[in-house]
Structure 1
Amino acid sequence: MKMNAASIKNQKAEWEALGVKLPAFDHDAMTAKTKEHPVWVHFGAGNIFRGFIAALQQRLLNEGLQDRGIIAADTFDYDIIDKIYTPFDNLTMMVTLNPDGSTSREIIGSVAEGLRADSSDAAMMARFKEIFTDPGLQMISFTITEKGYALYRPDGSLMPVVQADIDEGPAHARHAMSMVAALLFERFQAGAAPLAVVSMDNCSHNGEKLQSSVMTVAKAWA
């Protein structure tokens, strides 16, 4: 039995017989509504995101407190999207080790879409622009590690990839902060609807690091 959207809908009894907890909401409806009217994009689609942030959103969906999920994006390791998200309809098997040594298993289905933030992929970038220009988008968040916000080398010069992004402009952004700056510019041009930009990384002054890096790139393009 493969973990996918069809099996959690049509083979519930088999999953439950294996002791696997399933999403308590209509996964297909959530996915469709999120894609049509996105509210949250998260950059950094790794284990921290899947095991904690996506799991918390699932709890809200299960309780009927939310009706839309998260769009996960990765700017660095595209294999996460291509090999972990897409083949399994963006579902994750979360296994928790309990204090008594037992394990509990739950399929996390709060991720509606997985995207590669790759400026060389025209289709992907068209989808990102569609999402970011939607005035209903409420938040973008990050778990990309402290290194993901870094723009400078130890000698104080810009990293080559960042310098290239600045030289080539928003359409060719590759660094995570350049990509975000480019997409925020798209949103600004489409009406400048408000948006929360939130770092969830466990590092000191995470929000300041995020703001500084995005603004550095944006000012260089001005």
Structure 2
Amino acid sequence: MRLSFQTLDQVPAAVARPAYDLAGLGCGIVHLGLGAFHRAHQAVYSDAAIAAAGGAWGIVGVSMRKPDVAAALSPQDGLYTVEVLDAEPSYRVVGAVRQALTLPLEPDRVLTALAAPATRIVTLTVTEKGYCLDGAGALDLSHPDIVHDLTSPGSPRSAVGVLAAGLARRVAEGAAPLTVISCDNVADNGARLAAAVEAFAARAHPLLAPRLSAAAAFPQTMVDSIVPATDAASRARIERVLGLTDEGSVQREAFGQWVIEDRFAGPRPAWEQVGVELVGDVVPYRRLKLHVLNASHSALAYLGLLRGRTFVRDAIADPELAGFLDGLIAEEVAPALPELAVGDYWSGVRRRFANPAVDHRLDQIAQDGAQKLAQRIFPLMIANQRAGLPVTRMGRVVRAWIDWSATQGPPPRDLDDPTLFPAEIRSNPALRAAILGAAA
């Protein structure tokens, strides 16, 4: 039997369940990118906020490409289990996702959900590449999805195209403004998303562009929790605990953090009551996450894969790799971020990486390296070189990415490729030497 409204009362008492009226929950949030991270992170916070303070804050989740998640959740009435991996694992059934849609199959339903008067929040987890930005962080008008959306704005493929179409419809119908919350590892994520939507709207929705600032707020954010890809072992554990099959389950570490700039266009869930940090300035939080946790994750992935490691916990247990990361943080990252408590933060991250209960695959982290390094490594590398600070270890990380990529297909060895490397690296002999002269 499968997890659903009908079987929810069979879930053992040790498993936390939604503490609110599921059948009567209205939807006030649309989420773009209904993957594992959202279900393990933002949806959990929203689930807890609904239980704590009420409100019609159910989620309409949208898969941007494939129907797999909707096919898993719809037969379960949107219910799924989160397995929290710690010394003693814990389990909770989340009920906040009330609808699961697939953009290519249901574009009208997605745009209708965005335009609905009840919708007041839109969140996104579409990964760095989902923003269709160029090397300078602006909207890439030559991106195939953007080209498509500019010619067919009523059936968009990209997150930017979807947002612009939904906001244009809201403006035309006189709906209240939205708060649009990017939850991806993109520098200045709120501002860059707003600029991309504005650039798109100027070409496809000219009535929206001059009204965008009144139609939506785009606060900056930072999110953090390690969410390994769901595997058969996790599904089997959950089935044993629930006594039910759950095709939509996710697993995550116990640590979680969500920091949002306190700049909303209207009402929101009571997230602050359940651990979300609403702050005036997100930048310090994001810089720590991006250049310590995310950068060291990428370093561990590429160097670890080249040494035959499979999981993060295996790689951090390798004395040579752990020593390399300690040196990277102490010698190249901490001097570049002198105003931040890098050492203390790294100590916590190191412990999280070593969690024996978390099977976080290095090859999962290694995907989309060009987009990730553009956010995590390249900006700090360029800034360090300008300031006369060392870049040797960061150069070795980039070289490890190049060498690992060579095992997957044609290697990105051409440092003159503007789609892979920013101009400051392509034109700087010292940075080129730090990369090409490194031995991964």
**TM-score, normalization: structure 1?**
0.82
Secondary structure at 1:90 match in 2: coil
Conserved in 1, the CA contact under 8 Å of 2:107 and 2:156? no
1:86 corresponding residue in structure 2 = 74
Map 1:2-13 to 2 at 5 A.
Answer: 2-8=2-8, 12=9
CA–CA distance in structure 1, aligned partners of residues 95 and 149 of structure 2: 35
Q: 1:196 to 1:217 in 2, by over 3 A?
A: same
Secondary structure at 1:28 match in 2: coil
Secondary structure at 1:45 match in 2: coil
Number of aligned pairs? 202
Conserved in 1, the CA contact under 8 Å of 2:141 and 2:147? no
Deviation at 1:210, TM superposition (A): 0.9
Spell out structure 1 runs of 4+ moving beyond 3 A: 151-154
Q: Does 1:147 align with 2:141?
A: no
Q: Does 1:27 align with 2:10?
A: no
Q: Which runs of 5+ in 1 are unaligned?
A: none
2:55 corresponding residue in structure 1 = 66
2:117 corresponding residue in structure 1 = 135
Q: 1:135 to 1:43 in 2, by over 3 A?
A: same
For 1:76-104, what per-residue CA distance to the aligned partner results, in whole angstroms no more than 9, with x for missing partners?
2332222x222322111111122xx2111
1:16 corresponding residue in structure 2 = 12
Q: 1:28 to 1:169 in 2, by over 3 A?
A: same
2:92 is matched by which residue type in structure 1?
E
CA–CA distance in structure 2, aligned partners of residues 192 and 59 of structure 1: 27
1:25 is matched by which residue type in structure 2?
Y
Name which structure has the greater RCO, CA cutoff 8 Å, separation 6+: 1
2:165 to 182, 194, 200: 182
Q: 1:85 to 1:153 in 2, by over 3 A?
A: farther
For 1:49-95, what per-residue CA distance to the aligned partner results, in whole angstroms no more than 9, with x for missing partners?
1111111111122224334311111212332222x222322111111
1:53 corresponding residue in structure 2 = 42
Instruction: Give 1 or 2 for the bigger CA radius of gyration.
Output: 2
Deviation at 1:157, TM superposition (A): 5.9
CA–CA distance in structure 1, aligned partners of residues 50 and 175 of structure 2: 29
Deviation at 1:151, TM superposition (A): 4.2
2:415 corresponding residue in structure 1 = none
Q: Percent identity?
A: 27
1:102 is matched by which residue type in structure 2?
E
Secondary structure at 1:188 match in 2: helix
Q: Does 1:126 align with 2:126?
A: no
Secondary structure at 1:24 match in 2: coil
1:133 is matched by which residue type in structure 2?
A
Q: 1:160 to 1:130 in 2, by over 3 A?
A: closer
For 1:198-217, what per-residue CA distance to the aligned partner results, in whole angstroms no more than 9, with x for missing partners?
11223310012211221221
Secondary structure at 1:95 match in 2: strand
2:90 corresponding residue in structure 1 = 104
Deviation at 1:152, TM superposition (A): 4.1
